[in-house]
Structure 1
């Protein structure tokens, strides 16, 4: 039986994997009869996009599930809030450390190898987390999470490149929205939604076993064992499901994910492919020069700051949702997780709409400005409603705004960054955008989590810190209005 993806073709001009008859729908002789100048799209692009989206969703399912049940994890594993937050922060740390090697590998070897590595790390990490389900094996849980975090840097960076390689200009922003923004949000949605649903317990019993900062535990040894055994069984069900899903996605990637079509879908992609003439060390040297050259683009540097702020604050709100909201609404422990679910659910629709609007209008500046203004409204309203402690269910309002604005920002950011840095490799511009957001996410989560952990009276400091950051990002956005280089090339 033939595989959908053939072995890599070693040509100087393009680093591609030729797609065989089953994918292209043409015999090899028919494909080669076309002129190299022809631009074509292939139906297999949607299969490739779906598998990529599954990988990125899988990465986020593994990343976020501890956030809505942070109090349960702290008590069950007998660890501090610092270690629970570290389960999230390790993803950001490994992304920063491995960003440049991952960008170079993506540029040199293409999509397939990077996505295969990411799928493998996800599957292995999920298996180790399954082995670390026992209450004495937090170190194994942390090791599995760290291993899975390696997938983030290899897969997340590749989303805009996949859109450029496989999709025509009229579909690129939509493909980036689906693969690079909707897929991770869907993964976060599942991670946030399934853990409170599967890993739940009687709150009175949990309070008796775990206590809090002012009340020590008072449960009997029998009650403690009963609670611990119940949490073990629920975590086991969840981890088995995640590990099985990780293995399925890895198998799909191995057999059905292809690197590139035989002919490019756009003029900009064709010119970019033909530009890559060097090999070996010279290619690595050129990669470093072009990457560092991106920082000479003032608009791109400013936009990196904006993207870092919006993406970091959005991720921080989701990551620290439990420790920020729970002190003010202690009776809504299970419902807190559904706030994040609301944001992710609304973001999926808004991301798709944002991608389609960009494909139709190319109005990058206007869409960015609207998203940033909505982000300021979202974070400010969240802070005000938390501090007034009036009605828990009013918090759903800012989380709807979070989904409509901040969570959908990535769908816009990747494409806008590529437009202002073309012909810089797509993985490089998106990688630099992501790296800034990861650095600021670590700072923001640590800052907000530190004050929330000390005392409920210090929570407002973290909230207003996020409001100030978002307002700064919105202000900078006003001055970011670059030339749309790739759009200009494709129009010609």
Structure 2
């Protein structure tokens, strides 16, 4: 039951939204209200519909990340089928990062002004449109349509990522916020990535010998005759079409669910901090936009937040890099384990989902933000060092599963902590702003780190690339030692 021993789930009829609710009344406040208005309703209440809202958000997030990562596991097939360079295939993923940096501030302002429902409808809508365009771009001559569709879906990612922490604040009580954030902004993301890494190569597979004959030799004419080339191209078209239609259907369903059942906010706030924040927002129009800019820029006056934004950007960028270029990191040292490298990444993703959920629950119970943040950072450094050593010494490949799984656990736990910790530092700054700034930093760092790693691989300096990963992760861990801010939102809840 929600709200302690005095709470019970009831069906309420409210003039704004007849939602299932679980009543929670602050004892002192309730006595004061009853003294003057015996029939008054409690001012703090949680609604069972919050879980429906969270599920819808998670489904949209899964579909967004499935669209994002789907090209990465079949990059060799995509370059061959569409007859484009690896640069353009990698661009299908990197366009998400670019769109985030371009569209962040307008979308954060939109979220702050109009709330969750409009933001989610736009995000789910852009994703559904992008996925539909990728169906239209399935033909081998229509890569530009695929790129345009991916760009639209990349814009949706900005809406969805920035909305997650605000959803937790608007719908969930303080004892459930970290868990909700972990489910919505961490577990759903990793689930989408996991589905993409697992389903795409399973559905869109290729005869490697025929693929090499068709596209694998650029210095002399291909070995495949025109009939074999057409046979291979038609087969890839059919498999890619099946996959794109499936993803588009999921994205469309997520959009429909958002239109029908996603509410902007519950009739009454779920926590004291949310109630105070809602009452504080009274300005409208240009004045509200001016206040938004002032508060956003004011975040950079918070030393703890600035340091933590650097830490979070580094750790989240490292997680993104490991997902994107794990094959480039491991393959030069274990060239005969291509298929197993894929399983290695999938295993790390699967275990990270468990870690995120556990981290959210522990954080809700303890509110030990600093201790958990420092623990997962140190664990990440230890795992990255072990990862580098095992690869460089080319020991048994299957030993890599140990640091890979632990690294997934640690970085996933960090993802579950990061957004809530940032909100605690910057409260009452809008939740989407702190999350958006962290995400923007991580996208920028991801582009830089992936570019550096690609350079090291291109000049056959893979070992230097491995130690670069170790060094930058250790830098993030060192900085986090000095980030120990006041938990502003937790303190407000304790005072009530």
Question: Under a length normalisation based on structure 1, what TM-score does the superposition of the two structures give?
Answer: 0.91
The match for 2:17 among 14, 20, 27 is 20
2:467 corresponds to: 464
| Separation of aligned partners in 2, 1:82 and 1:369 | 37
Answer yes or no: is 1:485 the counterpart of 2:482: no
8 Å Cα contact 2:21/2:45 also seen in 1? no
| Separation of aligned partners in 2, 1:215 and 1:295 | 57
1:389 corresponds to: 394
SS at match of 1:405: helix
How far has the Cα of 1:330 moved from its partner? 3.8
1:400 corresponds to: 405
8 Å Cα contact 1:192/1:338 also seen in 2? no
8 Å Cα contact 1:68/1:321 also seen in 2? no
Give CA deviations for 1:68-105 in whole Å, capped at 9, x if unaligned. 22222122222222112111111011111111101100
SS at match of 1:157: helix
SS at match of 1:320: helix
| Separation of aligned partners in 1, 2:491 and 2:52 | 29
| Separation of aligned partners in 1, 2:166 and 2:466 | 35
The match for 2:65 among 49, 60, 67 is 60
The match for 1:343 among 348, 354, 375 is 348
8 Å Cα contact 1:383/1:464 also seen in 2? yes
How far has the Cα of 1:200 moved from its partner? 1.4
- The residue correspondences of 1:65-214 to structure 2 (distance < 5 A) are 65-211=70-216
Give CA deviations for 1:105-143 in whole Å, capped at 9, x if unaligned. 000000000010000011000011111112221111111
**CA separation of 1:73 and 1:334: change in aligned 2, threshold 3 A:** farther
The match for 1:473 among 472, 476, 482 is 476
Return 5+ residue gaps in structure 1 as ranges: 1-16, 27-31
| Separation of aligned partners in 2, 1:392 and 1:196 | 22
Answer yes or no: is 1:261 the counterpart of 2:258: no
How far has the Cα of 1:303 moved from its partner? 0.2
| Separation of aligned partners in 1, 2:402 and 2:22 | 48
- The residue correspondences of 1:214-363 to structure 2 (distance < 5 A) are 217-363=222-368
How far has the Cα of 1:339 moved from its partner? 2.2
How far has the Cα of 1:216 moved from its partner? 8.1
**CA separation of 1:419 and 1:280: change in aligned 2, threshold 3 A:** same
Which has the larger displacement, 38-47 or 80-89?
Answer: 80-89
How far has the Cα of 1:397 moved from its partner? 2.2
**CA separation of 1:19 and 1:253: change in aligned 2, threshold 3 A:** farther
SS at match of 1:354: helix
1:430 corresponds to: 435
Give CA deviations for 1:219-272 in whole Å, capped at 9, x if unaligned. 333333222222222111111100111111100000000010011011100110
Give CA deviations for 1:396-442 in whole Å, capped at 9, x if unaligned. 22321232011332210000001111111111111111111011011
Answer yes or no: is 1:419 the counterpart of 2:416: no
| Separation of aligned partners in 2, 1:184 and 1:286 | 31
Moved over 6 A (4+): 212-216
| Separation of aligned partners in 1, 2:492 and 2:15 | 26
1:10 corresponds to: none
How far has the Cα of 1:209 moved from its partner? 2.8
SS at match of 1:41: strand
Which has the larger displacement, 457-466 or 68-77?
Answer: 457-466
8 Å Cα contact 2:21/2:46 also seen in 1? no
1:13 corresponds to: none
| Separation of aligned partners in 1, 2:321 and 2:218 | 23
1:8 corresponds to: none
SS at match of 1:141: helix
**CA separation of 1:18 and 1:57: change in aligned 2, threshold 3 A:** farther
Return 5+ residue gaps in structure 2 as ranges: 1-13, 24-36
Question: Under a length normalisation based on structure 2, what TM-score does the superposition of the two structures give?
Answer: 0.90
Q: Which has the higher contact order (CA 8 A, sep 6+)?
A: 1
8 Å Cα contact 1:200/1:334 also seen in 2? no
How far has the Cα of 1:37 moved from its partner? 6.1
> May I ask how many residue pairs the two structures share in their alignment?
469
How far has the Cα of 1:337 moved from its partner? 2.5
**CA separation of 1:298 and 1:337: change in aligned 2, threshold 3 A:** same
| Separation of aligned partners in 1, 2:361 and 2:19 | 29
SS at match of 2:421: helix
| Separation of aligned partners in 2, 1:251 and 1:196 | 28
SS at match of 1:158: helix
8 Å Cα contact 2:130/2:153 also seen in 1? yes
1:12 corresponds to: none
RMSD over aligned CA atoms reads 2.2
How far has the Cα of 1:370 moved from its partner? 1.1
| Separation of aligned partners in 2, 1:216 and 1:305 | 50
Which has the larger displacement, 109-118 or 34-43?
Answer: 34-43
8 Å Cα contact 1:211/1:218 also seen in 2? no
How far has the Cα of 1:274 moved from its partner? 0.6
